[in-house]
Chains A and B, each alone.
Chain A
Amino acid sequence: MNPIIWLIPVLPLLSFVLLLLFGRRLKEASAVVGSLLTLGSLILSVVVFMGQWGGASVKQTAEWLAIGDTVLTVGYEINPLNALMLVIVSFVSFLIQVYSKGYMHDDDRFPVFFAYLGLFTFAMLGLVISPNLLQLYIFWELVGVGSFLLIGYYFYKSEAREAAKKAFIMTRIGDVGLFIGIILLFWQVGSFELDAIFDAVTAGDISQGWITLTAILIFVGAIGKSGQFPLHTWLPDAMEGPTPVSALIHAATMVAAGVYLVAAMFPLFEASEAALTTVAVVGGFTAIFAATIGLAQADIKRVLAYSTVSQLGYMMLALGSSGYVAGIFHLTTHAFFKALLFLAAGSVIHAVHTQNIHEMGGLWKKMKWTAPLFLIGAMAISGVPLLSGFFSKDEILAATYADGRFGLFWIAVIATFLTAFYMFRLFFLVFTGESQGKVKKVQESPGVMVFPMVVLGILAVIAGYINTPVTPILDDYLAQNPYLEIHHHESYWWIPIVATVVSLFGIFMAWLVYAKKKVKRLSEASPDFHFILLNKYFIDETYDYSFVKGTRGFSYFWYYIDRFVVEGVIQLVTGAVGWISKTSSKAHNGQVQLYGSVAFAGMAVLLLIVAWLGGYLT
């Protein structure tokens, strides 16, 4: 056993245990303990990651349990994909813990918060290094528990309690699918080991129908965790948790676990065209669907939440279009810029004490660090050239196009436009214009919060260069996995141009609509320009009616579908359970003779059926 590898998840677990036991005494020093231990994981992860360059996969297992002939094992496996994930998870987790030291300052359950973060990081790292599906499933659930605890951290708020419950139950629905998928795979292959499953798939031991069925069931688990349609509704609600949690769990790591799962099981998905199509269609649909909802939200964190859903949709679309590298690439860059956006949003909320973007405005001058960093994040996610999001999004578009799904390709292009539009709507409303808020003395956040944002800001700019058409580092790195065939599609010179034009157009539109108020006031002050400005206004109005209203209507349409149809089905199921529960507990009226009679009736029915089936009643 290589101690470097198993120590990676154990260090955060240690932090969890230590803080749970001694948190009361450590008080705010808990942050130092938590951060240092996570830093330890980060350093070890980087060592492991470095070892993966050109090195072969490492796998080590020990027997855990034997049921009959089946031997279940525990252990770890390191391959290029999960070494990369280890670094991302421990890195973001470390930065978030540093940031939380400032953000959670003065919270009276400070140590508990860091204990939960330790538990979550442990579970997430454990999930990533699992060599078999059973171990993966166990950590998958544990990640859900960590997420539940952190969403419900402000448990005295009823919204937070409800959101935590909803998140847990909604993701459980996906988990049931995943579990059935795992069990069916076990039944077909006779093993939970990923290698054994891939070998069986490659050797053709499993029929095509089973491959498709199990792949789709596993994808159902990914749908739940990664907030894909129709199980996405918990993710926006989960924003009730503290903002660092939103950045860590609901932007960078846990929600990416679904994408990771599909990527880790990619040989299975690749073997079934139908499964890939499902992944691509669900991903593409989620990408555009969530983006339209994002247009109409007023809560800064909810806009980011829908944006996360939409970006995860992109990743799924990439994977579904056989763009394995593109999906992982976007996962990596997204982890950085979305964490940055959330942290910046947290910094804004920290300063103005509201989450409503209409109550913000004019923060550009007051928040000298946060504002430019948010701008970097917004540019990266919008796909402004030469920032990280530009390269990864191009990869996805190219993969989708190369796969021949032109409909999905154009949906992705439109979603790009929408992404740029709502991100800059957010930017203009929050940072430009007049201050609408009540808090007059807005202060920049402390250094301990700015530092992680700066690091993430730098990465949001440069992370894209690990896989440009000129420097395909990630491509070569991930291609080391023996079970994978990396599809190298030709590069299309026109796709980056289209993407750039579309996203710049989105930013421009956002500027027209949400920065226009200045222009309007100018028009009233200077009658000379009235004619031109009127024309401008006319364009704006046309645009407003034809486009904004139209999209807004579209957005509401989906919002209500989401609200009434999807939630309705869930209500129906819970209602049915509630009804059974109510009637049968009413039957329990305390009369002992009724109890006896029910039992007698049960026996009589049994006897009658036995007699009838036995042919004694004819």
Chain B
Amino acid sequence: MSSVPLSVYLVLALILFCIGLFGALTKRNAVIVLISIELMLNAVNINLIAFAKYGINPSITGQIFSLFTITVAAAEAAVGLAILIALYRNRKTVNVDEMDIMKR
């Protein structure tokens, strides 16, 4: 029935995760950085769902876990954006590389 093996899902998740990590570490725009972090979290969801269906011991728990992940990720994104807006009000910039008043 299913012709797509588990490993393909896992590789897809890994690739998504790496893209997210790359974006989070290189993009100048803070909004994109936050979105990249969401991408990393979503890669986890793919993993969880794939394992829930094709894992060694398939079970519904993975799907429940991913529901929680989605919720928490939403909360995190909301807080991240709120903080970014506060920062933008004071600083008038969303460029990550300009946020360096604290160093050494």
**Pair A591/B25 contact, Cβ less than 8 Å:** no
Which of B24, B101, B103 lies in contact with A588, CB distance below 8 A?
B103
CA distance A596 to B24 in the complex (A): 8
**Pair A593/B104 contact, Cβ less than 8 Å:** no
**Pair B100/A597 contact, Cβ less than 8 Å:** no
B96 neighbours in A (Cβ, 8 Å):
591-593
Which of B25, B101, B102, B104 lies in contact with A600, CB distance below 8 A?
B25
A68 at the interface (CB under 8 A from B): no
CA distance A245 to B23 in the complex (A): 65
A471 at the interface (CB under 8 A from B): no
Given A592-B96, A592-B99, A593-B97, does the pair A586, B24 have CB atoms closer than 8 Å?
no
B99 neighbours in A (Cβ, 8 Å):
590, 592
A588 neighbours in B (Cβ, 8 Å):
103-104
Which of A590, A593, A596 lies in contact with B101, CB distance below 8 A?
A590
Chain A, range 569-618, C-beta contacts under 8 Å to B = 585-586, 588-593, 596-597, 600
CA distance A600 to B102 in the complex (A): 22
Chain A, range 38-97, C-beta contacts under 8 Å to B = none
CA distance A590 to B101 in the complex (A): 7
B85 CB to closest chain A CB, in angstroms?
17
Q: Which residue of A lies closest to B28 (CB)?
A: A593
Which of A586, A590, A596, A597 lies in contact with B102, CB distance below 8 A?
A590
CA distance A593 to B101 in the complex (A): 14
A595 CB to closest chain B CB, in angstroms?
9
B21 at the interface (CB under 8 A from A): yes
Chain B, range 56-104, C-beta contacts under 8 Å to A = 96-97, 99-104
CA distance A597 to B97 in the complex (A): 14
B81 CB to closest chain A CB, in angstroms?
16
**Pair A596/B104 contact, Cβ less than 8 Å:** no
Which of B26, B33, B100 lies in contact with A589, CB distance below 8 A?
B100
Given A596-B25, A597-B25, A600-B25, does the pair A591, B104 have CB atoms closer than 8 Å?
no
CA distance A596 to B104 in the complex (A): 17
Q: Which residue of A lies closest to B21 (CB)?
A: A600
A585 neighbours in B (Cβ, 8 Å):
104
Q: Which residue of B lies closest to A589 (CB)?
A: B103
A246 CB to closest chain B CB, in angstroms?
41
CA distance A590 to B33 in the complex (A): 16
A599 CB to closest chain B CB, in angstroms?
9
**Pair A593/B100 contact, Cβ less than 8 Å:** no
Q: Which residue of A lies closest to B102 (CB)?
A: A590
CA distance A600 to B24 in the complex (A): 11
Residue among A585, A592, A597, A600 with most chain B CB within 10 A: A592
Chain B, range 15-50, C-beta contacts under 8 Å to A = 21, 24-26, 33
A608 CB to closest chain B CB, in angstroms?
15
CA distance A590 to B95 in the complex (A): 13
**Pair B26/A593 contact, Cβ less than 8 Å:** yes
**Pair B26/A590 contact, Cβ less than 8 Å:** no
CA distance A484 to B100 in the complex (A): 68
B67 CB to closest chain A CB, in angstroms?
27
**Pair A590/B103 contact, Cβ less than 8 Å:** yes
A601 CB to closest chain B CB, in angstroms?
10
B100 neighbours in A (Cβ, 8 Å):
589-591
CA distance A600 to B40 in the complex (A): 14
CA distance A586 to B104 in the complex (A): 6
B97 neighbours in A (Cβ, 8 Å):
591, 593
CA distance A585 to B104 in the complex (A): 5
B104 neighbours in A (Cβ, 8 Å):
585-586, 588-589
CA distance A597 to B33 in the complex (A): 13
Binary B-proximity of A154-182 (CB < 8 A = 1, otherwise 0): 00000000000000000000000000000
B95 CB to closest chain A CB, in angstroms?
11
B3 CB to closest chain A CB, in angstroms?
28
CA distance A600 to B104 in the complex (A): 21
CA distance A592 to B101 in the complex (A): 11
CA distance A181 to B81 in the complex (A): 57
CA distance A419 to B101 in the complex (A): 63
A593 neighbours in B (Cβ, 8 Å):
24-26, 33, 96-97
CA distance A593 to B32 in the complex (A): 13
A596 neighbours in B (Cβ, 8 Å):
24-25
CA distance A590 to B96 in the complex (A): 10
Q: Which residue of B lies closest to A597 (CB)?
A: B25
A586 neighbours in B (Cβ, 8 Å):
104
Chain A, range 284-332, C-beta contacts under 8 Å to B = none
CA distance A586 to B33 in the complex (A): 24
CA distance A596 to B21 in the complex (A): 9
CA distance A597 to B21 in the complex (A): 9
What are 19 sample pairs from A and B whose C-beta atoms fall under 8 A apart? A586-B104, A588-B104, A589-B100, A589-B103, A590-B100, A590-B101, A590-B102, A590-B103, A591-B97, A593-B24, A593-B25, A593-B26, A593-B33, A593-B96, A593-B97, A596-B24, A596-B25, A597-B25, A600-B25
Given A591-B100, A593-B24, 4 further pairs, Cβ under 8 A: A589-B100, A590-B102, A590-B103, A596-B25
- The 5 tightest CB contacts between A and B, nearest first, are A590-B100, A590-B103, A596-B25, A593-B25, A597-B25
